[in-house]
Amino acid sequence: MSPINFRQNQAWGDLLLRWWQGLDDDRGGRAALRRAPDITAVVMLPAYQRLHQRLRAAGWPADTWRDDRLAAAAGLLAHVKQHNEQALPAAMSQRDGDKPRLSVLRFMRLLESPDIDSLFAGLRRALPLLQHQADVLALATDVVNWGDAVKKRWAYGYDWPDKAGS
């Protein structure tokens, strides 16, 4: 399967960005997405279904595997309050004092996420540590394409401390 890329000035990227921005006016939808404990719960929400229907109309592939990953991305984007173009691994390793926002151990657990459900749970816990800021399109792209290539890119993008355990 070829990777999915959400980019500005590209149909899917623009749709996703407008949907995320529209969550500011759909506070109930955002709240429901934020409360969703897992991907199945996200799939059953009208706010996600609106996004899914718009993307399907724009050519999104009919594929449950990708739909579940899109649902994970949508559920996570509901936790993002501010778009930040800093790469996610760099934001995770940004220092608050002498410690990274996401410890090496927590970051490694994210990288070891064996499936999209584990990644969803781990990123739900990580986003508050990033002050609910992320690059909306990059986060969605990475979640939808989660696999070895994304894991490697994240590992190279994280600013690893000199000492283990920091």
Rg (CA), the chain: 15
CATH of the domain at 105: 1.10.520.40
| 163 belongs to a structural domain | no
Structure confidence by residue, pLDDT tens digits, 49-98: 999 999 999 999 888 889 999 999 999 999 999 999 999 999 999 988 88
Structure confidence by residue, pLDDT tens digits, 114-164: 999 999 999 999 999 999 999 999 999 999 999 999 999 999 999 998 765
Q: Which domain holds residue 16?
A: 11-157
Structure confidence by residue, pLDDT tens digits, 90-120: 999 998 888 899 999 999 999 999 999 999 9
| 106 belongs to a structural domain | yes
| 133 belongs to a structural domain | yes
Q: Are strands 82-83 and 95-96 parallel, antiparallel or unpaired?
A: unpaired
| 119 belongs to a structural domain | yes
**Domains identified in the chain, total number:** 1
Contacts of 151 (CB under 8 A, 6+ apart): 111
Q: Distance between CA atoms of 149 and 139, rounded to whole angstroms? A: 14
Whether residue 165 has pLDDT greater than 60: no
